[in-house]
Structure 1
Amino acid sequence: MNTFHRYGLYPTVFITGAAILVVEILATRLLAPYYGTTIFSTSSIITVILAALSIGYWIGGRYSDKHCHLDHFAWFIAAGGVGVLVIAVLNSLFVPVIGYQLSLTSGPLLLSLFLFFGPILLLGMLSPYAIALQNAFSPEVGIGTISGRIFFWSTLGSIAGSLLTAYLLIPSFTIPQILLATGVVLTALGVGIRLIAGTHYQATLPMVFFAVALFYGEGVSPFLSPAIYQSQGVYSQITVFDAPYDGEETRFLVQDRQSSGALNKASGKSAFEYAKYYDIYRLFNRDIKNALIIGGGAYIIPKMLHENKPSVSIDVAEIEPNLEALSKEYFQLPDTPQIKTHVKDGRRLLLDSNQQYDYIFSDAFSSLYGQPTQLVSKAFFDLAKKRLNDNGIFIANIIGYFPPEGGPSLAGSAYLTMKSVFPEHLLIAVESNEIHKIQNFIFVGMNGKMPNVDYHFLRRHPDPLFSELGEKVILTEKLRLENELIFTDSYAPVESLSAQALTYGVTAKKIS
């Protein structure tokens, strides 16, 4: 018995166990540009991975009973490696074509089956096969001990793969690079074991050539617009590109599928209409000294606030650590001590700090329409109000619509939740007062008595933001809220309501 027969299977399953977790974690990044990091994506990925592993265990056990040979075991490893390489190719060539055609609810499941089921099934076959092989090599050890050792090393590899992916690979390399390296390592491992098993090297050449061809042939960018900057962030794929918007030259920041900011290059202001409502605070409390922006994105709102009122101390809560530097380089963010970034979730920042603010603007999104659930619950709004000074202003950007037949809906439930905390408030429809249309809604709440606004007088204001305000403020007493929800930490179905809003928007476009 050679050394590999006695000890080699344990490091082998360690490597394959690591590879499974690498692919599983990367799966969330592969789907995020099309479906965001929603509960549908997470659940679909876990479901497909577990289904593939369970079927792989069953097939691997049955097959090893009939064909318990080291070269067969090696072939499955190499085939799994090629399967991982195929994921990288499909992600570049086909997923950009079909990803946006599928819905937010069914798309993640269908793409997960398409991309991950086959390779993970092959890798799932390896643990029971390794147990059968080790038992054949060392029958005196006992099947129970062998099983325990195999699953120990495989699970330990999965732990290592999880930590390695999160703390080293994703921060250092692109997703295609990680997939390609994982596939090559597995293919090389399988080929090496086949050579140890005494298989003629000619039998391994087609698989080696195929892996090399995929390695060098992959690399088509899934982005249709020429990117000025593109990299993998800690939480999302980050892309900066220029494109016309409303007839103006505009620079965009995109995180996965979602546009996180757009700068009109001529004016230096936001190209998105909703962002201009950051300035609405001047109607109610002009004397703000410190502000918190939750969700930095391209830092356009902090930039405009600083330019408009340089004396204000601005904190920005942004979980993606590279965005401040990117905004300085690409989005004209000034380098000033008045703007301070906290790489932290906005709610956590409010919880950990005793800092009081005159102004809080919440603009963080986790998917196309949906905000992170921890930032739409009543507990969050209670905490935000607690951190506001007297007469402080809270502003939140919501994307959605108010259904004609009543809720529940994303916009309606978010509004009802905020209204329960801020009884003194305004609701503004950014595009028009057609509340049944998908658009941005701006919620303005005040920690104190909100002054009466003379909208007729404001019509003479030189700034359209104020002169047109009377046409965009919603008469909230006419909203149908009886079926809307108050979001809590224990129940906030943001993802499903976001999918409902997206489906409604697509249907409305087709009808019109």
Structure 2
Amino acid sequence: MTARTTNALLLCLYAFLLGFSLMSFEMLGSRYLYPYFGGGLNTWAVLISVVLIALMVGYFVGGMIADAHPDQRVLGAIIATSGLYMLAIPLISDKVILFALDVAGDGPVGAFLATVLLLAFPLTALSVFSPFSVRLLITAHTDAGRISGLVYAVSTAGNILGVLVTSFWLIPTMGSRAITYGMGAVTLATALAIMAVRLREAAPRPVPVTSRA
């Protein structure tokens, strides 16, 4: 197996696991908000908006950090902060939401503030992975489209499974806090693997040179 193939398989595995954790955590967010803000359209609109904002910021910042520091140890450290934050959520969620209620009330603004405080940081850190991993995998300009498509496709597959498994199996059988601890542990373990398992050095593919007439 070539170094390029090994690297791609490793990063695709990480992309799948982190994609699963990301959407699982979004579904868990709705359960944390429900006792205080309900499960209506306003709550879901706020939740989806915050998730999209986190993805937007994470993709943009992740791309910049990857260009400045294309080191998988940097990527692993960023992902680790997300896992640690998730592990703290069951311990602080009630206090965070009560703080948001005191500051902004129980309407959409309060729900938005609570969602930002609970979800924005870990989801932003998780979304750094995709652009960063593309940067680590690309060895020639001819690879860019194929590699970015592969990483985002595998990550999205993890997203889909995260929504379905969490909604239809994990939440009914385990409860939100236990699942949050599990997702935090998976995220932290993935981060440690990213830092510990070094990608193999791959020779860049030659870029074809077109002859001039």
What's the counterpart of residue 185 of structure 1? 186
Give the conservation status (yes or no) of the 8 Å contact 2:46–2:111: yes
Query: Partner amino acid for 1:24?
Result: E
SS at match of 2:107: coil
- Which ranges in structure 2 are unaligned for 5 or more consecutive residues? 200-213
2:79 maps to 1:107? no
1:122 is aligned, of 112, 121, 125, to 125
C-alpha distance in 2 between matches for 1:141 and 1:2:
14
Structure ranking higher in strand proportion? 1
> Cα distance, 1:75 vs. partner?
1.4
Q: Distance in 1 between matches of 2:151 and 2:190?
A: 17
On the 8 A contact 2:100/2:113 being kept in 1, the answer is no
1:18 to 2:24 alignment: no
Does the CA-based 8 Å contact 1:49-1:117 persist in structure 2? Answer: yes
**1:235-274 pair list within 5 angstroms:** none
Aligned partner letter, 2:31 = R
Q: Note closer, same or farther for the CA distance 1:4–1:73 as it changes in structure 2 (3 Å cut).
A: farther
Distance 2:195 2:149 in 1: 25
Does residue 1:134 correspond to 2:137, yes or no? yes
Task: Quote how far apart the aligned CAs of 1:85 are.
Answer: 1.6
* RMSD of aligned residue pairs (Cα, Å): 1.9
* Partner residue, 1:144: 145
Match among 44, 49, 52 for residue 51 of structure 2? 49
Q: Which residue of 2 aligns with 1:68?
A: 70
After superposition, residues 98-497 of structure 1 pair within 5 angstroms as: 98=99, 100-101=101-102, 102-136=105-139, 139=140, 142-197=143-198
Which residue does the alignment assign to 2:92?
A: 90
Residue matched to 1:38:
40
User: Counterpart amino acid of 1:154?
Assistant: S
Q: 1:106 deviation in Å? A: 1.6
The alpha carbon displacement at 1:97 in A equals 3.6
Higher helix share: 2
- Alpha-carbon distance in structure 2 between the residues aligned to 1:87 and 1:159: 23
Q: How does the TM-score come out when normalised to structure 1?
A: 0.37
Contact in 2 for aligned 1:34/1:99 (Cα 8 Å)? no
Q: Aligned equivalents of 1:2 and 1:82: distance in 2?
A: 31
TM value normalised by structure 2? 0.85
Larger Rg: 1
In 2: Cα distance, 1:117 partner to 1:97 partner: 17
Q: Is the 8 A contact 1:87 1:116 kept in 2?
A: no
Q: How far did 1:171 drift? A: 1.1
**C-alpha distance in structure 1 between counterparts of 2:8 and 2:40, whole Å:** 45
Higher RCO (Cα < 8 Å, 6 or more apart): 2
**Residue 82 of structure 2, aligned match among 76, 80, 95:** 80
- CA deviation map 1:89-124 (0-9, x unaligned): 2214x1364365322232110101111111111011
User: Distance in 1 between the 2:151 and 2:58 partners?
Assistant: 16
CA 1:145–1:72 in 2, change beyond 3 Å: closer, same or farther? same
Q: Deviations over 1:287-341 (max 9, x none)?
A: xxxxxxxxxxxxxxxxxxxxxxxxxxxxxxxxxxxxxxxxxxxxxxxxxxxxxxx
User: How far apart are residue 141 of structure 1 and its match?
Assistant: 6.2
Counterpart residue identity of residue 144, structure 2: I
Secondary structure of the residue that 1:17 maps to in structure 2? helix
Q: Deviations over 1:192-235 (max 9, x none)?
A: 2211139xxxxxxxxxxxxxxxxxxxxxxxxxxxxxxxxxxxxx
Alpha-carbon separation, structure 2, partners of 1:185 and 1:38:
30
Residue equivalent to 2:9: 7
Q: For 2:142 and 2:80, locate their aligned partners in 1 and report how far apart those are by CA, in whole Å.
A: 28
Aligned residues, how many? 195
